[in-house]
Amino acid sequence: MVLQLSHYATGKQMELYGMGMAVVDPQGKTNLYSSDQPYEHIREAENMQEVFHNYLSSEQGKNFVEYVSSRGNKLMEFKGVGAGDLGENTVAAILRNDLEGILLSNYEGKGFDERISEMADKYNLTHEATIEYVLAHELAHAAGYKAEAETEGFIKEYFESRVSHTEGEEKEKYVQLAGVAAQRENEMREVEN
């Protein structure tokens, strides 16, 4: 199986050789791979599995999956959720081929929650909105969007669509998220060209 890594980061290729990680499979078993920090990787993998499960069963996650489907796309099959050493500037990534994948949070010296907090501060978002952003981004990769600019454009359109279906604080959140996606789409177009 040939695997590629799509990630929320700088849009640059990442080296996977010797990457330590832990993955919780669909049956709930946690597996370690080349980990020099097994306890941290297991803790982060189990945390990411819970975050991902909570998102997919939430109204926000269901809305996103429905949007993906309405665009004629389908999410790849997830063979696990985990944590791995993904490099300094990455929050999360999908290790994938064209049929299946593994969602990974980054544990390279700091965990997912700390990376989410840093990103939330950078874009002036709440912690929860930032998690929604990152998971929507990674699920867009799982729906077949490979290039970072293309992925950001897709989630920008999704967030814009949510603006017309929400009110109050939730509407403001989606306006902010669409703005972040638009900014990142422009940044990624510059990097990819």
What value does the mean pLDDT of the chain take?
A: 90
pTM, to two decimals? 0.90
- How far apart are the C-alpha atoms of 44 and 37, rounded to whole Å? 11
Type of residue at 193: N
CA atoms in the 13 A half-sphere facing the CB of 149: 8
| Domain extents in the chain | 4-192
Phi (first) and psi of residue 33, to 5 degrees: -135, 120
CA distance 66 to 22: 29
pLDDT for residue 18 is more than 50? yes
Per-residue pLDDT reduced to its tens digit, 146-185: 999 999 999 999 999 999 999 999 999 999 999 999 999 9
Instruction: Check: CB of residue 20 under 8 Å from CB of residue 40.
Output: no
CATH match for 4-192 among 3.40.720, 1.10.10, 3.40.50, 3.40.390: 3.40.390
Region 48-72 average pLDDT? 98
Of 15 and 125, the structure prediction assigns the larger pLDDT to 125
Rounded Cα distance, 191 and 27, in Å: 39
Is residue 170 packed enough to be buried (19+ CB in 10 Å), middle (13-18) or exposed (0-12)?
middle
pLDDT in tens, 95-115: 988 789 999 999 988 999 999
Q: In what order do the strands lie in the sheet with 92-96?
A: 4-8, 92-96, 100-106, 77-84, 21-24, 30-33
